[in-house]
Each structure stands twice: as C-alpha cells, then as structure tokens.
Structure 1
C-alpha cells in the first residue's frame, strides 16, 4: 500500500512539475531532463510511469481536465444560486485565473492546444473530449438558467455554450499576445450582452 502511494506521489510530482514548466514554455520546448531535474526524479523513473513523452502529455492533459471539471462541478454545485449566477461566476473565475501569475491557474488548453493537436493524435483526442465535457457542463447551466428564469434568452444551450467557450479561448490567446486583460474584459462584456446579464 505504501509503495502504491509513493508511486502515485512520484507520478503526480512529475505531472505537477511539468504542468508548471509547460504552462510557460509549451510542450515541445521542454525536455524530459528539465522536468525530471526540477522534480528531483531520476530519468529511469519516468519510463516506469510513462511509455513516452506523448503518453506523458496525454496523461498530463487528462489529469488537467479531470481537475478542471471537478472544479466546475464544485462551482456549479453551490447551493442557493441561479443558473445565471453560477454561469457568470464561472466566467469571472476564468478572467481572474488568466490574469494571475500562478502558472498552475492558467488554462492549459489555451497554452498547448494549437501545438499538441498537430503533434499527437492521442493528445488531440484528450483535448477534444475534455473541451466537449466543459461545453456540455456550460450548456447544462445555461439550460438551468433558462428554466429558473434567470436567463431571459431564447437560444439552444448547446451551440450558445460552444460559442461562448470558443470566444473565451480566443480572448485568452489575445490576452497573451497583448499582455493585458482587455480581450478578457471584452469577452466578459460580450458574454453579459449575449446572456443579458448586468455586471456582477
């Protein structure tokens, strides 16, 4: 049991360290030696947990989505909030997290998607399924807001959720290019207009 726990701890340490580094440098620019040195893990140990760098990247993305979706469920599961309030809290959290200096808070989809989708089919599929689940959860909250009357809109929740998510991804990329939060604030204003919500 202790061996299993230690094994999990080492694997998590490698993944945590890599996510921090890759959030800044990207996937291809980071070598295994850099990750393992930063994690203080022998190189031979890496291949005990991952068959290749691509398999490692797949595991890192999968774990990222697992944690991200858990966070969404916790946010949307807060009692006493309307669907609209839950939805706008999500976007506010996005804006805040993308302007923080903490690499672990940054959206890994924004950082890696364009790069790794062309490098690895396995990683592309993880990205496809993960973002699909995010959009599905957003669609569910939009439907909840329409049902409880907090969103006075006449729109199909699925396509609207997809459009909003894609606009925030684009805004996050532009925020990286401009090195300010103006694109994210513009995305918030557009989202509020589409959902007919006042500023929180």
Structure 2
C-alpha cells in the first residue's frame, strides 16, 4: 500500500490540530510537528495558513457528511429518528473527545469570522450545506405528517444548527454533556412534534 503524501498527512493531522488548538493557537510549526513532517513542507503544499484551514474545514465537513449519510439520509428511518440518530452519533464523537473541542465549524466561526474573509466565506458555504441537510429531512418529516408544518423547514434548520452549535459551545465551557442533552430534550419535546 502506498504511503500517504506529505500533503495528506498535514491535512489529516491538521483537522485535529486546528480542532484542539484553534486557528490562532496553531502555527505552522505546531501544524507540521503534529503531522510529523518537516516545517518546509507546509509552504510546498499550501499557499497560506488560510488556504490550509479551508482544506482542513473541507475534510472535517466530509467526515460530518459521512455521519449524515448514515443518519439523516437513511431512508429506512422516519425523519425524527434520522435527526435523533444524527445528534446521538455526534454526541458519541463529542464524548470521545472528553466534551472538550466542540465542532470545528463553530470554533472557526467564533474565532475567524472577524479576521479572515476567506474563511468567513468558506464557513458560510459549510453552514449552508449543513442547514440544507437538516432542511431536507425536515421537509420529509413534514410531508409525511411526522413534523408540524407550522414553521418553515428552512427556518427550523437554521434554528437547529444555531442551537446545536450553541449547545456545543456551552458543552466545551462546562466540559459536560449536560448542554447537549438539554438541547436534545427540548428539541424533541417541542420543535420536532407532529401536527396537533
């Protein structure tokens, strides 16, 4: 089996490095040291740290999409069960990290939206993709009478992503699953109810 390229090593390691240290806390020295590659390799593969962060964000988003494929897009499950499966799967991911790191999308949104137009624009695209995935399953649930049509699916999806990111932010501060569990309890007891 071929060895991964140095670029690939930097990207794969970079997901964890940026997730754990943040953009500002991870210089090129830390990024390459964590990847186990010479520091000079970075500039051979990335024109800037912003460009690198964009690639890392895409890789992280691809991993999220895999989870969405097995949960939100699982046509064997009713819509509400798909959403529950998605949040439960991400919760397992967060637990494995000791409730410390939250979501890279949310972390970069808080840290970089005022400092990098390149990353801010890229984060808008990623958030739109996440919101669209939620909206798709919500529309399915509404069409099947499983979720009330009182609210627009796009509005609910935007609310879901914002609330979920907020719960993960609070989880990081508390280093506790409680904000995540509270989010899920309220969501499934209120917003994701069938028509009355």
Q: Place the TM-score, normalised by the shorter chain, in its bin.
A: 0.7 to 0.9
Match of 2:177 in 1: 181
Alignment of 1:93 with 2:89, yes or no, is yes
Deviation at 1:140, TM superposition (A): 0.7
Distance in 2 separating the partners of 1:153 and 1:85 = 17
1:45-60 mapped onto 2 (5 Å cutoff): 45-60=41-56
Distance in 2 separating the partners of 1:98 and 1:113 = 18
1:1-200 mapped onto 2 (5 Å cutoff): 9-101=5-97, 106-192=102-188, 193-196=190-193
Tell me which protein shows more helix as a share of its residues.
1
Distance in 2 separating the partners of 1:163 and 1:127 = 17
Deviation at 1:97, TM superposition (A): 2.2
SS of alignment partner, residue 151 of structure 1: coil
SS of alignment partner, residue 23 of structure 2: coil
Deviation at 1:106, TM superposition (A): 4.8
Contact kept? 1:116, 1:123, Cα under 8 Å:
yes
Contact kept? 1:97, 1:106, Cα under 8 Å:
no
Deviation at 1:48, TM superposition (A): 1.6
Distance in 1 separating the partners of 2:13 and 2:73 = 30
Contact kept? 1:175, 1:182, Cα under 8 Å:
yes
Deviation at 1:102, TM superposition (A): 7.1
Mark the runs of 5 or more structure 1 residues left unpaired by the alignment: none
Stretch deviating more after TM superposition (106-115 or 155-164): 106-115
CA offsets 1:152-182 (integer angstroms, 9 cap, x no match): 4422100011011101111110111112111
CA offsets 1:57-103 (integer angstroms, 9 cap, x no match): 11111222233224313323324211121122112223332222279
Distance in 2 separating the partners of 1:59 and 1:38 = 17
Mark the runs of 5 or more structure 2 residues left unpaired by the alignment: none
Flag the 1:61–1:75 CA change in 2: closer, same or farther, 3 A: same
- Cα-Cα RMSD: 2.2
Distance in 2 separating the partners of 1:56 and 1:116 = 14
